[in-house]
Amino acid sequence: MKFSYAAFLGLVPSIFAASIPNDSLTKRGGGAFQSCTGPTFEKQANNEIVIHMKCNDGVGGSNQPMLNLNKCIGNQGGKLVWQRDGNFGRSCWLDNGENTGARYNRYLFLFCGNGKDFDVVASIDLDQRLVNRGGILTCDV
């Protein structure tokens, strides 16, 4: 068996390209705010933070789904991150005033503990991972 240095060099670009993540393959969903409006937020007694919206169902109607954001978001040192079953509601809270809620549309602003005995303002762009699937609001994490 002959070794061809030229043939090996011909493989290098394809090997290198295979190691680079392709955005179309790795990119998660999002874009719910293109077909959903009027977000409101509510913290429930069990520390769940839910979002309520009005979403088109894709067939001419609409639904008013709610989604428990604890299933999608976590608090890591005072920073909100996309995390399955992150339960950020245990360490973050809504102001229920002008600082949080529908005023900021796709951005959720909260006060969160940072693990260092003080609280910080944290935010996350909900349109990065919230998805409207036929009028049902889900998170793609």
Of the two residues 2 and 8, the one the predictor is more confident about is 2
- Supply the CATH number for residue 59's domain: 2.30.60.10
Answer yes or no: is 70 within a domain.
yes
pLDDT (tens digit per residue) in 11-68 = 434 433 443 333 333 345 799 999 999 898 888 889 999 999 999 999 999 999 999 9
Length of the chain: 141
68: its two tokens: 């428990």
Answer yes or no: is 15 within a domain.
no
Query: By three-state DSSP, how is residue 122 classified?
Result: strand
DSSP 43-61: E-TTS-EEEEEEEE-SSS-
As a whole number of Å, the CA-based R_g of the chain is: 21
CA 72 to chain CA centroid, nearest Å: 6
Banded model confidence at residue 132, pLDDT cuts 50, 70, 90: very high
Answer yes or no: is 34 within a domain.
yes
Whether the Cβ atoms of residue 103 and residue 86 lie closer than 8 Å to each other: no
Q: Which domain holds residue 78?
A: 29-139
Residue type, position 50, single letter: V
Q: The whole model's pTM is what?
A: 0.74
pLDDT of residue 101: 52
Answer yes or no: is 92 within a domain.
yes
Number of domains in the chain: 1
Answer yes or no: is 9 within a domain.
no
pLDDT of residue 94: 80
Q: Where do runs of H (alpha helix) occur along the chain?
A: 5-19, 23-26
* In the predicted structure, residue 111 carries a pLDDT above the cut 60: yes
Answer yes or no: is 5 within a domain.
no
